């Protein structure tokens, strides 16, 4: 369930090749501040994957609702 949620977020990711020697930039569309910058595309994806994972933990700890991503709803009352 958690993996499905993160995978749904990652399907919204877009990447850009930066200037020579500057690597890659990635962002998850619809998630303000969800971005990563790394020297390789693989590392950029790895770093970007941590963003929704970290956000889930912070929002749950603060008692906040999680955004529903492509039908993946992890909010209380929707977990079965």
79 located within any domain: no
53 located within any domain: yes
73 located within any domain: no
How many separate domains does the chain show? 1
> Which of 46, 63, 53 has the alpha carbon at shortest distance from 5?
53
Residue 24 token pair = 């890659």
- How far from 43 is each of 28, 54, 61, 63, CA to CA, in Å? 15, 17, 28, 31
CATH number at residue 52: 3.30.160.250
The reported pLDDT for the residue numbered 28 is 95
Residue 31 token pair = 């998630």
The reported pLDDT for the residue numbered 60 is 87
The reported pLDDT for the residue numbered 78 is 62
Domain that holds residue 47: 2-61
Write out pLDDT tens, residues 16-56: 999 988 999 999 998 888 999 999 999 999 999 999 889 88
7 located within any domain: yes
Residue 35 token pair = 């971005």
């Amino acid at each position: 369930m958690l993996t499905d949620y993160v995978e749904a977020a990652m399907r919204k990711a877009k990447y850009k090749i930066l200037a020579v020697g500057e690597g890659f930039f990635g962002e998850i569309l619809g998630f303000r501040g969800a971005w990563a910058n790394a020297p390789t595309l693989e590392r950029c994806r790895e770093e970007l994957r941590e963003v929704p994972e970290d956000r889930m933990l912070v929002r749950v700890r603060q008692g906040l609702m999680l955004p529903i991503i492509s039908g993946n709803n992890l909010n209380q009352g929707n977990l079965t």
